[in-house]
Protein backbone atom coordinates (compact mmCIF):
# COMPACT_ATOMS: atom_id res chain seq x y z
CA UNK A 1 0.00 0.00 0.00
CA UNK A 2 2.88 2.34 0.75
CA UNK A 3 4.36 1.67 -2.70
CA UNK A 4 1.11 2.80 -4.28
CA UNK A 5 1.23 6.14 -2.48
CA UNK A 6 4.90 6.64 -3.31
CA UNK A 7 4.21 5.92 -6.98
CA UNK A 8 1.25 8.33 -7.01
CA UNK A 9 3.26 11.09 -5.38
CA UNK A 10 6.17 10.61 -7.79
CA UNK A 11 3.93 10.62 -10.88
CA UNK A 12 1.93 13.64 -9.72
CA UNK A 13 5.13 15.50 -8.88
CA UNK A 14 6.57 14.67 -12.30
CA UNK A 15 3.32 15.80 -13.94
CA UNK A 16 3.51 19.17 -12.19
CA UNK A 17 7.18 19.59 -13.07
CA UNK A 18 6.52 18.60 -16.68
CA UNK A 19 3.72 21.14 -16.92
CA UNK A 20 6.01 23.81 -15.51
CA UNK A 21 8.82 22.86 -17.89
CA UNK A 22 6.58 22.79 -20.97
CA UNK A 23 5.39 26.31 -20.23
CA UNK A 24 8.87 27.53 -21.19
CA UNK A 25 8.41 26.38 -24.79
CA UNK A 26 6.96 28.60 -27.48
CA UNK A 27 5.25 25.92 -29.53
CA UNK A 28 2.80 28.28 -31.24
CA UNK A 29 5.14 28.62 -34.21
CA UNK A 30 4.82 24.89 -34.93
CA UNK A 31 1.02 24.76 -34.99
CA UNK A 32 -1.43 25.35 -37.77
CA UNK A 33 -3.88 28.20 -37.64
CA UNK A 34 -7.35 27.46 -36.19
CA UNK A 35 -6.32 24.13 -34.61
CA UNK A 36 -6.54 25.19 -30.99
CA UNK A 37 -8.27 22.09 -29.62
CA UNK A 38 -5.82 19.72 -31.29
CA UNK A 39 -2.92 21.81 -29.97
CA UNK A 40 -4.25 21.65 -26.42
CA UNK A 41 -4.72 17.88 -26.66
CA UNK A 42 -1.20 17.46 -28.01
CA UNK A 43 0.20 19.70 -25.25
CA UNK A 44 -1.56 17.65 -22.56
CA UNK A 45 -0.47 14.32 -24.07
CA UNK A 46 3.14 15.48 -24.27
CA UNK A 47 3.03 16.52 -20.63
CA UNK A 48 1.57 13.15 -19.62
CA UNK A 49 4.19 11.25 -21.63
CA UNK A 50 7.03 13.29 -20.18
CA UNK A 51 5.67 12.82 -16.65
CA UNK A 52 5.30 9.07 -17.15
CA UNK A 53 8.81 8.65 -18.54
CA UNK A 54 10.48 10.77 -15.88
CA UNK A 55 8.41 9.17 -13.10
CA UNK A 56 9.24 5.67 -14.30
CA UNK A 57 12.91 6.58 -14.44
CA UNK A 58 12.88 7.96 -10.90
CA UNK A 59 10.97 4.97 -9.53
CA UNK A 60 13.27 2.44 -11.16
CA UNK A 61 16.27 4.38 -9.93
CA UNK A 62 14.87 4.49 -6.38
CA UNK A 63 14.01 0.79 -6.28
CA UNK A 64 17.42 -0.24 -7.66
CA UNK A 65 19.14 1.86 -5.05
CA UNK A 66 17.12 0.10 -2.37
CA UNK A 67 15.29 3.14 -1.05
Q: Quote the distance between the C-alpha of residue 24 and its chain's center.
A: 14
Q: 5-55 pLDDT, tens per residue?
A: 999 999 999 999 999 999 998 887 888 888 889 989 999 999 999 999 999
- List all residues 6 or more positions away from 23 whose beta carbon is below 8 Å from its beta carbon: none
For residue 25, give its domain range.
2-65
pLDDT of residue 66: 66
- Count up the domains in the chain and report the number: 1
Which pLDDT score, from 0 to 100, does residue 15 have?
97
- Check if the beta carbon of residue 49 is closer than 8 Å to that of residue 11: no
pLDDT score at 22:
92
pLDDT at 67 over 80: no
* DSSP-based three-state secondary structure for 34: coil
Would the pTM count as exceeding 0.95? no
Amino acid sequence: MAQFFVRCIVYIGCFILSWYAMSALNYEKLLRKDHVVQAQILYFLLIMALAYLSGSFLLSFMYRAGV
